[in-house]
Amino acid sequence: MEKLPKWADAFLVPLVSVFIAFSISGLVILAVGEDPIAALRVMIDGALGSTYGWGYTLYYATNFMFTGLGVAVAFHAGLFNIGGEGQATLGGLGVALVCLFIPWPHWSLALCAAIVSSALFAALWAAIPAWLQAKRGSHIVITTIMFNFIAASLLNYILVNQLRPKGSMDPASARFPQATNLPGLDQVLGLFGIPFSSKTPANISLIIAMICCILVWFLIWHTRLGFAIRAFGKSEKAAVYAGINPVRITLYAMIISGALAGLMAVNTVQGEANRLLLNSVEGAGFIGIAVSLMGRGHPFGVFLAALLFGFLYQGGAELALWTKIPRELITVIQALVILFTGALDQMVRRPIEITFALFKKKEH
Amino acid sequence: MNSSDILGRQETAAPSLPLAIELRGISKAFGTVQANKDISIQVKAGTIHGIIGENGAGKSTLMSILYGFYKADEGQILIKGIPTIIPDSQSAIRAGIGMVFQHFKLVQNFSVLENVILGAEDGALLGPSFTRARNVLADLSAEYDLDVDPDAVVENLSVGHQQRVEILKALYRQAEILILDEPTGVLTPAEANHLFRILRGLKAQGKTIILITHKLREIMDITDHVSVMRQGQIVSSLETSETSPQDLAERMVGRKVLLQISKSAPNYGDEVLRVEGLTLHDEQGVERLSDVAFSIRAGEILGIAGVAGNGQSHLLEVLAGIRNAQGRAFLKSEVLNLTGKSANAQSRRAMGIAHIPEDRQDMGLIMDFMAWENMGLGYHNDPLYQHNRWFMNNDALLDETAAKMDRFDVRPPIPTLAAKNFSGGNQQKIVVAREIERVPDVLLIGQPTRGVDIGAIEFIHQQIIALRDAGKAILLVSVELDEIMSLSDRIGVMFDGHLMGVKDATQTNVNEIGLMMAGIAPPQEGII
């Protein structure tokens, strides 16, 4: 029989994990001589206390949704795609190329082109390790990590030698034309009469990320490809028995995974910076792994986890700004959240399972 | 104690024999699962005591407690009347208990001698240990008909010989009580007979033997007493002479069972499947199938007997499209491609070849998938289960699963329950339902009843016979010789990748098949 009811598995376990992570973080803050309650208040105020704070939180969350979904799709196929970072880097290149070199009459067309281009670039970047794993047996964890470095070097080369405007000392592309600038979240929400700060980087990409959550949900649980991906991910032998081609599924899953990670560039490169920077991904590819783990690979879970990590990112920045707590401490908090929701899942789960079992016994 | 009356009867029946082992009220729970519940057994010294029960009845847990792998939650172990605590296997060995596991624990590239002294070396230098062990082995071999070359490397020994090494290991450690867990699962009938001879010899020398098995025939053949386990409890303790296979089966299952399969005379149609010159080299380049040829007619069950690992699994996988191979195969008059793009499971299914794989937990089912998802495994591209080009119709699959679970009496009949939460028998029923309900022209079956409870075995056998009677061709691979003998119309035997021959089931017998399983062909009557 199932040990835990579904709601407890999906919500209670992660919530308890987060609570423990926060408690330990509180002790750490206490140890550096600060007040944890005050620190939490600063974080909540800074990240959620104003539409300005929300703007940043949602901007970060958008990134994490894309990369988290990417990791989740690969994970359903039993593939551990650690290459979100590199794939998003290549996605950025895709965005920059269409925005820089094609004169777009309207942002909506530029957005469509950027979506296609970023997804394509990132998908191709993910397809190489996928092909190497499927055909040559090179382990995808190793190859995707290595491809992160290659992507970084490649971008460095292209920015410095190709895209850098003449005379600029900055390894970054030129600014994109005004027509490619995406509407901010304030403009989107303004359509519904909801006031929102116009000074934040949050933009329409959030809507795209949420649509992607829904699409991924359909893909995984309501399409033949999703069925094949999940079957392959759970048991390669059973998948082959069912006539599912492992090479094809590995490629498809990684292409979709890479494309999702690549879409993140629409948010950062086109939505925020309006030019291609050297490090526009800023570790979001790796956070995506934690987001996916915490979200249990479910798009809705990824959505919620992305919000949590968006909050941690923005709240952490505020913490560094307004308190004497060093910025590094926020990394500690994030690490604790990852540790408890990912690695130490069983430690939290067992006691909850036992509690549930006890209650069940009493009922009977 | 619920079995005290039976125990009392035993003691009066043979008061002279002291007890080698007595278990008193042993209980063991894993989480909420009660694996052993208040188990009390008395094993008399110098007897062979059988413990029989279906998979999951708690036999292995009980023996693991006795051998110090698990600690019992409650209860007491008495060895030769002395309460003993067994915290680990070293203590079990010191207490005189030896264990022969189903999966041998031998170092493959060590010699027999090295394996025997491993863990029982005395002193820093190996020389004296070897000399001593060599002498002891020579004595043991002579005494118990346990002839094994002490210098042979284990990986070169047959399975039967490896098992003898395990027994020698236990005897070398001066085991007085020998526990054997499903010892005949990997043996040919001749090897099994030899093993039984050895066990009788050990008994004659005053050793006590506990034999764990699910095979009724073995219990009847060799044991003096038998304890029947069901759902973690001892339901009966009997003198073997006072029971019968039918009686034991009913005690194991808890209801009436049919041991004999009723099967009408075959009504053959045209040839459906023909295989010629089938040869397969595996990833390591080892030849797994050599020049295998046979054919199956409509309305026929061709049984493939053989000790596990002689190429039967590969044969099934080749025909099911999971592996490529050389040779020719024809379905009716159509060519089956054994290599290339169309050599995959999906196109085989499209041609009408269904496959119940040997390993349902690894291949036939996805344990984390729900029953309905498993029902779609291999058929997920079927137009029946699609809304349109893009979306699957999960509800259609759910409804169909519910109907199939009902027809095949899968319990519990919950399509949304994950496969891992069903018992072995019910898991197998899900696979059988999925493959048989499609009414394929050819059904490939591997080990249809491995790890399946008796009640489900009966049901699955009936389904296979029904498909044959509906005029379909069936290839049945099983290591259970009884199953092959009772279901097949013709019987082929595989040995080392060769098909040793195909016999009409009505014109052969266990001895002939057994000899072929050992690689002896052409077979002659009356050697065993």
What CA–CA distance (Å, rounded) separates B502 from B523? 11
Q: How near does any CA of chain B get to the CA of A249, in Å?
A: 14
Looking at B225, B255, B285, the residue that finishes a domain is B255
Instruction: Judge whether residue A298 has pLDDT over 60.
Output: yes
Residues A149-163, mean pLDDT to the nearest whole number: 95
**In the structure, what pLDDT confidence band is assigned to residue A363 with cuts at 50, 70 and 90?**
low
Q: Are residues B239 and B321 in the same domain?
A: no
Instruction: Give the pLDDT of residue B259.
Output: 66
Instruction: Please report, rounded to a whole number, the percentage of residues in chain A having pLDDT higher than 70.
Output: 98
Which has the minimum average pLDDT: A132-136, A191-195, B12-16, B357-361?
A: B12-16
Count the domains in chain B. 2
Q: Are residues B23 and B72 in the same domain?
A: yes
Q: Are residues B81 and B226 in the same domain?
A: yes
Question: Is the Cβ pair A224, B380 closer than 8 Å?
Answer: yes
Residues B316-339, mean pLDDT to the nearest whole number: 93
Q: Which residues contact A248 (CB under 8 A, 6 or more apart)?
A: none
Residues A266-275, mean pLDDT to the nearest whole number: 94
Q: Domains (ranges, CATH) in chain A? A: 39-353 (1.10.3470)
Instruction: Give the pLDDT of residue B12.
Output: 42
Instruction: Give the pLDDT of residue A239.
Output: 96
**In the structure, what pLDDT confidence band is assigned to residue B105 with cuts at 50, 70 and 90?**
confident
Instruction: Give the pLDDT of residue B192.
Output: 87
Q: Which of B473, B512, B464 is nearest to B492 (CA)?
A: B512
- Measured CA to CA in angstroms, residue B443 lies from B192, B297, B356, B434, B450 at distances of 31, 12, 8, 12, 17
Partners of A227 on chain B (C-beta within 8 Å) are 373, 376, 380, 392
Instruction: Judge whether residue A87 has pLDDT over 60.
Output: yes
Tell me whether residue B248 is in a domain. Answer: yes
Q: Buried b vs exposed e over B192-228: b needs ≥16 C-beta within 10 Å?
A: bebbbebbeebbeeebbbbbbbbbbebbbebbbbbbb
Write out residues 316-355 of A within 8 Å (CB-CB) of B.
353
Tell me whether residue B418 is in a domain. Answer: yes
Query: What type of residue is B249?
Result: A
- 3-class secondary structure for A213-276? HHHHHHHHHHCHHHHHHHHHHHCHHHHHHCCCCHHHHHHHHHHHHHHHHHHHHHHHHHHHHCCC
Instruction: Judge whether residue A32 has pLDDT over 60.
Output: yes
- 3-class secondary structure for B18-83? CEEEEEEEEEEEECCEEEEEEEEEEEECCCEEEEEECCCCCHHHHHHHHCCCCCCCEEEEEECCEE
Instruction: Give the pLDDT of residue A1.
Output: 38
- 3-class secondary structure for B221-285? HHCCEEEEEECCEEEEEEEHHHCCHHHHHHHHHCCCCCCCCCCCCCCCCCEEEEEEEEEEECCCC
Closest partner residue to A238 (CB to CB) among B321, B377, B418 is B377
Closest partner residue to A237 (CB to CB) among B348, B363, B421 is B363
Instruction: Judge whether residue B15 has pLDDT over 70.
Output: no
Looking at B255, B288, B314, the residue that finishes a domain is B255
Question: Tens digit of pLDDT for each residue in A337-353?
Answer: 888 877 777 788 888 88
Instruction: Give the pLDDT of residue A362.
Output: 63
Q: Are residues B391 and B312 in the same domain?
A: yes
Closest partner residue to B391 (CB to CB) among A222, A238, A243 is A222
Q: Are residues B392 and B297 in the same domain?
A: yes
Question: Tens digit of pLDDT for each residue in A212-249?
Answer: 999 999 999 999 999 999 999 999 999 999 999 999 99
Instruction: Judge whether residue B419 has pLDDT over 90.
Output: yes
Question: Is the Cβ pair B364, A238 closer than 8 Å?
Answer: yes
Q: Are residues B415 and B336 in the same domain?
A: yes
Strand order across the beta sheet in which B353-356 lies: B353-356, B442-446, B473-477, B300-305, B490-495, B498-504
What CA–CA distance (Å, rounded) separates B421 from A4? 13
Tokens (6 digits) for A121: 């670039």
What CA–CA distance (Å, rounded) separates B138 from B146? 9
Residues B166-184, mean pLDDT to the nearest whole number: 90
Tokens (6 digits) for A153: 């070097």
Residues B74-81, mean pLDDT to the nearest whole number: 91
Instruction: Give the pLDDT of residue B13.
Output: 43
In B361-453 the beta strands, taken as DSSP E runs, fall at: 442-446
Instruction: Judge whether residue B527 has pLDDT over 60.
Output: no
Instruction: Give the pLDDT of residue B9.
Output: 41
Which has the minimum average pLDDT: B249-258, B317-326, B491-500?
A: B249-258
Q: How near does any CA of chain B get to the CA of A226, in Å?
A: 10
Strand order across the beta sheet in which B82-84 lies: B33-44, B19-30, B74-79, B82-84
Q: Are residues B241 and B294 in the same domain?
A: no
Are the beta carbons of B65 and B87 closer than 8 angstroms? no
Q: Are residues B340 and B484 in the same domain?
A: yes
Tell me whether residue B80 is in a domain. Answer: yes
3-state secondary structure of B493: strand
Average pLDDT, chain B: 88
Residues B290-315, mean pLDDT to the nearest whole number: 93
Instruction: Give the pLDDT of residue B1.
Output: 41
Tell me whether residue B198 is in a domain. Answer: no
**Can you give the CATH number for the domain in which B234 is found?**
3.40.50.300
Are the beta carbons of B147 and B161 closer than 8 angstroms? no
Total Cβ atoms within 10 A of residue B38? 17
**In the structure, what pLDDT confidence band is assigned to residue B16 with cuts at 50, 70 and 90?**
low
- Measured CA to CA in angstroms, residue A148 lies from A101, A120, A142, A290, B332 at distances of 26, 17, 10, 17, 54
What CA–CA distance (Å, rounded) separates B199 from A81? 55
**In the structure, what pLDDT confidence band is assigned to residue B298 with cuts at 50, 70 and 90?**
very high
Question: Tens digit of pLDDT for each residue in B451-510?
Answer: 787 778 889 999 999 999 999 999 999 988 889 999 999 999 999 999 999 999 999 888
Instruction: Judge whether residue B29 has pLDDT over 90.
Output: no
Q: Are residues B248 and B375 in the same domain?
A: no
Torsion angle in degrees (nearest 10) through CA of A252, A257, A259, A263: 160
Tell me whether residue B22 is in a domain. Answer: yes
Instruction: Judge whether residue B112 has pLDDT over 70.
Output: yes
Q: How near does any CA of chain A get to the CA of B366, in Å?
A: 6
Residues A286-304, mean pLDDT to the nearest whole number: 92
Q: How near does any CA of chain B get to the CA of A324, in Å?
A: 48
- 3-class secondary structure for A54-79? HHHHHHHHHHHHHHHHHHHHHHHCCC
**In the structure, what pLDDT confidence band is assigned to residue A284 with cuts at 50, 70 and 90?**
very high
Residues A176-198, mean pLDDT to the nearest whole number: 92
Are the beta carbons of A280 and A96 closer than 8 angstroms? no
Which has the minimum average pLDDT: A157-171, A305-319, B35-49, B175-189?
A: B175-189
Q: Which of A73, A341, B241 is nearest to A65 (CA)?
A: A73
Partners of B391 on chain A (C-beta within 8 Å) are 218, 222-223
Q: Are residues B218 and B289 in the same domain?
A: no
Half-sphere exposure of B499 (CA within 13 A, CB side): 22
Question: Is the Cβ pair A238, B366 closer than 8 Å?
Answer: yes
Instruction: Give the pLDDT of residue B258.
Output: 66
More confident residue, B433 or B104: B433
Tell me whether residue B78 is in a domain. Answer: yes
Which has the minimum average pLDDT: A111-125, A143-157, B228-242?
A: B228-242
DSSP single-letter state for residue B439: -
Looking at B221, B255, B289, the residue that finishes a domain is B255
Tell me whether residue B293 is in a domain. Answer: yes
Query: ipTM for the complex?
Result: 0.86
Domain that holds residue B214: 1-93+209-255
Q: Does the CB of A240 have a partner CB in chain B at under 8 Å?
A: yes
Average pLDDT, chain A: 91
Instruction: Give the pLDDT of residue B253.
Output: 80
Instruction: Judge whether residue B325 has pLDDT over 80.
Output: yes
Residues B420-429, mean pLDDT to the nearest whole number: 87
DSSP single-letter state for residue A340: I
DSSP single-letter state for residue B474: E
Which has the minimum average pLDDT: A192-196, B31-35, B247-251?
A: B31-35
Residues A81-90, mean pLDDT to the nearest whole number: 96
Q: Are residues B348 and B249 in the same domain?
A: no
Q: Are residues B355 and B223 in the same domain?
A: no
Tell me whether residue B188 is in a domain. Answer: no
